[in-house]
Amino acid sequence: MGKKSAAAAALVLGGVLLATGCSSGSSGGSGDTPAKTGDSAAPGKPSASASADDNGAASEAAYRKWGLKPFPAPPAPPADKPVKPKPGEVPVISDIPTDKKIVFVTFDDGAEKDPKFVEMMRDLKIPFTMFLTDAAISDNKAYFKPLQELGNSIENHTLTHPNMRTESGSKQQHEVCGQQEKLTKEYGKAPRLFRPPYGNWNEATRAAVKACGPQAIVLWRESMQIQNMQYQRGDKKLHPGDIILAHFRGKSELKGHTMTEMTANMLRHIQEQGFTVARLEDYV
């Protein structure tokens, strides 16, 4: 996953630092009164188009608050998820097979717990996935519940953030199963996805994930720094279905910048390249 600075006991953090149409109603006439076409509503009740206009204005205001423009809604998720593991197999993915101009935003670790970030995500309603490490979140696990309540999934990122390649199979299983149990108990839902720290994994990692419950190992194609993205591909561009890595980071790791500033920069990069943000769990 990139190098990381220490953020909590037993945790090594660092490395890479840093997503309607309106229908015209038709009111039927009664007696000799002709029907009136166009928007209509009962007294005191806004019409459908008025409600849509209000929602659009509210969305623009919410985005403007953070120096952004609204994203277009992502396409409806496919009826059949494109990532389909074979029986007994744990797939390893860095992107999602799709031709839609969508990307997927993920945040790792959990060291920074900025209340402004919760406010930002409540305003923007951008879907994202959290891969949490117990050692990073143990001082305030409740922080992530409002983010989860917005519809964002909490997934497995080990107990103590080790380099999995250097650990025995039994230690890897302890890291994955231990965090699976803790996250399920704390947040009421078993994680379906696993991200290995630093993106380092081997076949023992895959075996541990299979034994502990997650259904896929999730890597990434881009990682968000403070102002810019790092790209794995030589063309330095987003591609349909790319998974983007960011982190719960604060001013000490972001050279004085806040997590909301970093996130706004990331969303601008996504938007400037003509993409919108979709929910990863809808595709895996």
User: Which helix H or strand E contains 231, and what residues bound it?
Assistant: strand 229-231
What's the predicted TM-score (pTM) here?
0.82
Distance CA 4, CA 17 (A): 8
Name the percent of the chain lying above pLDDT 90: 77
Q: Tens digit of pLDDT for each residue in 37-88? A: 344 444 455 565 656 566 778 899 999 999 999 999 999 999 999 998 888 8
pLDDT band with cut points at 50, 70 and 90 for residue 261: very high
Distance CA 221, CA 236 (A): 10
Output the pLDDT for position 87: 87
Q: Give the residue-averaged pLDDT of 101-124.
A: 98
Q: Higher model confidence: residue 206 or residue 6?
A: 206
Output the pLDDT for position 55: 74
Question: Does the pLDDT value for residue 18 go beyond 90?
Answer: no
Output the pLDDT for position 85: 81
Q: Is 95 helix (H, G, I), strand (E, B) or coil?
A: strand
Question: Does the pLDDT value for residue 125 go beyond 80?
Answer: yes
Q: Tens digit of pLDDT for each residue in 200-245? A: 999 999 999 999 999 999 999 999 999 999 999 999 999 999 999 9
> Alpha helices, DSSP H only, in the chain?
48-65, 115-124, 134-137, 145-149, 169-187, 203-212, 259-272
Q: Find, among 75, 76, 73, the residue nearest to 20 by Cα.
A: 73
Output the pLDDT for position 45: 53
